[in-house]
Amino acid sequence: MEKEMSVIDRARIWLSGSFDEDTKAAVKEMMENNPPELTDSFYRDLEFGTGGLRGIMGVGTNRMNKYTVGMATQGLANYLKKMFPALNPVKVAISYDSRNNSKYFAQIVSEVLSANGFKVFIFDDLRPTPELSFAIRKLGCQSGVMVTASHNPKEYNGYKAYWDDGAQMIAPHDENVIREVQKITLIDDVKWKGVKENIIVIGGEIDAEYLDLVQSLSLSPESIRRQKNLKIVYTPLHGCGRKMVPDILQRLGFENIHMVEEQAVADGNFPTVRSPNPEEHDALNMSINLAEELQADLVMATDPDADRVGIAIRNHHNKMILLNGNQTAALLFYYILNRWKELDKLEGKEYIVSTIVTTKLLSEIAASFGVEYFESLTGFKYIADVIRKNEATKNFIVGGEESYGYLIGDFVRDKDAVSACAMIAETAAWMADSGKSLFDLLIEIYQQYGFYKEGLLSVTRKGKSGAEEIQKIMADYRSDPPESINNSRVIKVKDYLLMTEKDITTGREQSIHLPKSNVLQFFLDDGSIISVRPSGTEPKIKFYFGVRESLQSKADFENTEQRLDEKINRIISSMNLK
C-alpha cells in the first residue's frame, strides 16, 4: 500500500503547478480509470541512464514527454557548465530521427540548451546518428544529443547524449550527468524559454563533408566501376537512411539501386513492419520480396536512426538468406583487412575492435593479418573509448559488434550504417570481380578459420516486476553458477560486475581490466561460450551463444550449420530458457 501511495503522490504533483492542461487531464484519466497504467507511468522517474534517455512516450515521470526531456536536458546543461566553465558559449549539436515526436523533443532540447546560454547547432531535418557524431567533431562541440529510440517499437523514444569526441558518454561523464539530472526534481528548475539567436540550423554543408569522408574509405573503386550494375535493394525502414545511403552508393559508382518505396517514407508509426529492427527477420520481408522479384544480389536495411544495418545475400541455391550481425562483421573485417594488406597499408600499428559478446572469429581474422585486436564491453561507446585511448599511437581500421553495428574509419565515433552499407556493397563488387558472391566469401572465411555460429535469445520482462525478475536471474547465476551446460563442463566464468575471471579447473582467479558491467560469461569444455546480460536500453535480459566446428567444404555448409544450430538449441534447453 505504501508503494501505491507514493505513486499517487507522484501523480498528484502533475495535477497542479506549471504542467499543461492536456497533461493534467491525462493524469486524471489514469487515476480514475487505469490504475495499472498510472503505476507504470509514475512508479519511478524515467532513468537517465548511461546511454541517455529511452522509454515509452506518454504522461508521467516514467515516460518520454516534454517535461522529462526538459528536466534531463537541464541536468545535462548543468553538468556541461561545470565541465567547461571557461567556454562561452558551450556548443552542442542536435539531430533527430523519424520517430513520432522526435523533432518536437529535439526542439525542446535546443530551447532548453539555448536558454542556458549555449550555442546550439540543430539539423534542418532528420539525420542519421553517425552524422550527428561527425558534426560534434566537425563543429568543435562539447556535447551532442541524438533524439531516437534506435530500433525500439513505435511506442518508444529517447535520446543519446554525446561527449566532445563524438562518442556517447562513458564514465565518469555519464554517471556525473545522471547525478545532475537527478537533482532536477521540479519542472520549474528548467530554463524552458529558448533564445533564438543561440540556435543555428545546419544541413547540406555537413552532409557533403560527411559523405566526402565516407567516400574516401573506398578500397576497390576499380571493382565498383566494373560491377556498377550490381543489383542492390535497400530499405531505410521509414527512417533516416533514406537519403544518405542511396547518395553514398551512387557517389561510389553503383548504378542499379532499388529502394523499397513503401518504406522510403519517414514515418514514426513504421506502418509496414512489426518493429523497425534489422535484427528481426520480419523487418526485411518486403526488401527480400523485392530482391527475389528483381533477382537482386544484395539486400541492405537500416534502422530508424541509420546506425545499424542488416543484410541478405544469395546462397548457392540462388535463395536470399539473412545474415546475422556476426556474419556481416566477418565479411566486412576480412574484406577490409585483406585490401589493406593488398594495398600495402598495414604498417604494424593497426588494430580492430569488437565486444565481449561478438564472435571470436573476428580476433582470428585479425591475428591472421598481424593486426592487433582489442575487446571492449558491449556498446559502441566502449569501442569509441578504445579509439580515443589509442588515436595518438595506433591506427584504427574497423570496429563492430554482433548487434548489427559497424564503424570504418575514425571520423565518426559511433556505429555507422551509412559507411557500413557503402563497404558491404563494395565487398560484394570486389567478390563479383572474381566471379564470386558474398556467400562464397563467407564459406571461404569459415573454411579458413572455422565455422563460428552464434545465437541470441532475448527474454522480455516488462514493468516494475519485470525489472526485479531480471535482477534476480543475474543474482541467481552469480550465487549458484551452473557446473555444466548441455552436458559440457563449465571450465571458466567471467564476471564483469565483480571484474573477475575464474578458472574452475584450477580455482585460479584473475582480474578483468575493463569497466564494470552486469555481464556473466560461461566458457564450456567443448569450446562453447554463453554470455548473459540485461539490456541497457530495453526491458530484456539477453543470452548470447557461441559454438564452433571446422568446415571442410562448401558442400558441408548446410549440414554443419544445422548441427551448430541444434547445439545452440540444446544449450538453450539445458538452461531452461524455453
15 and 36 in a single domain? The answer is yes
pLDDT tier, 538 (very low <50, low <70, confident <90, very high otherwise) = low
Q: Which ranges of 401-519 does DSSP label H, i.e. alpha helix?
A: 417-432, 438-449, 463-479
300 and 325 in a single domain? The answer is yes
Compute the average pLDDT of residues 326-339. Answer: 98
169 and 311 in a single domain? The answer is no
Inform me whether the pLDDT recorded for 26 exceeds 50: yes
Give the CA angle between residues 107, 243, 66 to the nearest 5°. Answer: 15
Compute the average pLDDT of residues 504-511. Answer: 95
349 and 482 in a single domain? The answer is no
Q: What is the pTM of this model?
A: 0.94
Report pLDDT for 64: 97
Share of the chain above pLDDT 70, in %: 99
Compute the average pLDDT of residues 403-413. Answer: 97
Report pLDDT for 468: 85
471 and 560 in a single domain? The answer is yes
Grid coordinates 557533403 are at which residue? 208
**Lowest mean pLDDT, pick from 16-30, 46-60, 132-146, 268-282:** 46-60
Inform me whether the pLDDT recorded for 363 exceeds 80: yes
pLDDT tier, 16 (very low <50, low <70, confident <90, very high otherwise) = confident
Measured distance CA(300)–CA(91) in Å, rounded? 35
Measuring CA to CA, how many Å separate 489 from each of 18, 360, 459, 495, 571? Answer: 61, 20, 25, 17, 12
426 and 465 in a single domain? The answer is no
Question: What DSSP string describes 106-171?
Answer: HHHHHHHHHHTT-EEEEESS---HHHHHHHHHHTT-SEEEEE--TTS-TTEEEEEEE-TTSSBP-T
pLDDT tier, 465 (very low <50, low <70, confident <90, very high otherwise) = confident
- Going by C-alpha positions, the residue among 478, 563, 577 that lies closest to residue 526 is 563
Report pLDDT for 49: 77
Measured distance CA(25)–CA(89) in Å, rounded? 39
CB 156 within 8 A of CB 102: no
Q: Which residues contact 546 (CB under 8 A, 6 or more apart)?
A: 359, 360, 452, 453, 454, 528, 529, 530, 531
183, 202, 221: which is the final residue of a domain? 202
Report pLDDT for 552: 92
**Lowest mean pLDDT, pick from 120-134, 170-184, 483-497:** 170-184
- CATH number for the domain that contains residue 236: 3.40.120.10
Per the structure, the count of domains in the chain is 4
Domain that holds residue 32: 1-43
Report pLDDT for 3: 44
Burial (CB < 10 A; 0-12, 13-18, 19+), residue 513, is: exposed
Residue 90 corresponds to which cell in the numbers above? 558551450
Q: What is the pLDDT of residues 264-319, one digit of tens each?
A: 999 999 999 999 999 999 999 999 999 999 999 999 999 999 999 999 999 999 99
Report pLDDT for 1: 35
pLDDT tier, 151 (very low <50, low <70, confident <90, very high otherwise) = confident
Compute the average pLDDT of residues 42-53. Answer: 85
The pair phi, psi for residue 253, each rounded to 5°, is 120, 5
164 and 55 in a single domain? The answer is yes
The 8-class DSSP code of residue 46 comes to P
Full strand arrangement of the beta sheet holding 395-401: 372-376, 350-355, 395-401, 405-408
Report pLDDT for 375: 97
Report pLDDT for 454: 96
Report pLDDT for 462: 77
Grid coordinates 539555448 are at which residue? 114
CB atoms within 10 A of CB 490: 19
Report pLDDT for 416: 98
Compute the average pLDDT of residues 330-356. Answer: 98
Inform me whether the pLDDT recorded for 4 exceeds 60: no
Inform me whether the pLDDT recorded for 194 exceeds 50: yes
397 and 262 in a single domain? The answer is yes
423, 447, 471: which is the final residue of a domain? 447
272 and 362 in a single domain? The answer is yes
395, 416, 447: which is the final residue of a domain? 447
Catalytic residues: 150
Calculate the CA 172 to chain-centre distance. 21
Residue 276 corresponds to which cell in the numbers above? 523497425
Inform me whether the pLDDT recorded for 2 exceeds 50: no
516 and 533 in a single domain? The answer is yes
Report pLDDT for 445: 98
- Going by C-alpha positions, the residue among 149, 163, 131 that lies closest to residue 57 is 149
Report pLDDT for 259: 98
Measured distance CA(254)–CA(256) in Å, rounded? 6
- Paired sense of beta strands 320-322 and 298-302, if any: unpaired
pLDDT tier, 463 (very low <50, low <70, confident <90, very high otherwise) = confident
Question: What DSSP string describes 390-402?
Answer: HTTTSEEEEEEET
Question: What DSSP string describes 297-351?
Answer: SEEEEE-TTS-BEEEEEE-TTS-EEE--HHHHHHHHHHHHHHHHHHTT---S-EE
111 and 256 in a single domain? The answer is no
387 and 283 in a single domain? The answer is yes
